[in-house]
Structure 1
Amino acid sequence: MNDMKNIVKILAIALIMVAGVQHTTAQSLSQDSDRPEVIAKKKVADISAKLDINDSQQRALFRYYTSYEMKYKKNIAGKDLNQPKVAAEKKEYLDDLKTNVKKTLNDEQYKTWLGMLKE
């Protein structure tokens, strides 16, 4: 009888722990999707699929996009884009990204990338 109570207690504790782990995992997954590295990786994967870029170009674009997303998230996200200072910072970050990407891609790839940027 005592063994049965212990087994029930152990099962109850195990179920509570499993439920807690699932909740924590789901929460961390939703937080991960907002991280600059995750956003950059997704964008570079999209670009790679459309532009046939090599590994070196992928790594460079990942660095540029990670930097851009970090700056954007820190200084632009959630702010009023109609404010001149915010709009100027956004333009500066985008111009930086364009300059770096232009150094990395060939002319044809860059033109296609600019078209993708406007989408």
Structure 2
Amino acid sequence: MVTKGLLVRLEVKAGNDAMAEDVLRSALPMVRAEAATTAWFAIRFGRSEYGMFDVFPDDAGREAHLAGPVTQALLDAGGSVFAGAPLIQEPRRAGRQVACNVIGRAGHEGTAPHVQGKGGP
């Protein structure tokens, strides 16, 4: 059961949208290798604002993800792509499940980079 989540917002420096999308696309194989990451979405909120939404079965899965290679990839891209540190939020819980609203559709032109879901096609 999914009980924990993360919403990470990233502000991209002007002109670096393509590089930010490359960083997010490169994260997909890393996320697929994480057994405790139940679902992961790359999101484009608007011009120069991107994010990721992840869900996990427990705190241990969330902490393993935060200590893993996706976080390192964001740190490596750091100041050359992003305008500042990521804003990391933990969505509020409703009962025993993460409550969330879906913003846009993955792959919709202008809404999100086309990133295949963790589970495959």
**TM, length-normalised to structure 2:** 0.29
Of structures 1 and 2, the larger Rg is shown by: 1
Normalized per residue, which structure has more strand? 2
Normalized per residue, which structure has more helix? 1
The answer to which structure, 1 or 2, has the higher relative contact order (CA under 8 A, 6+ apart) is 2
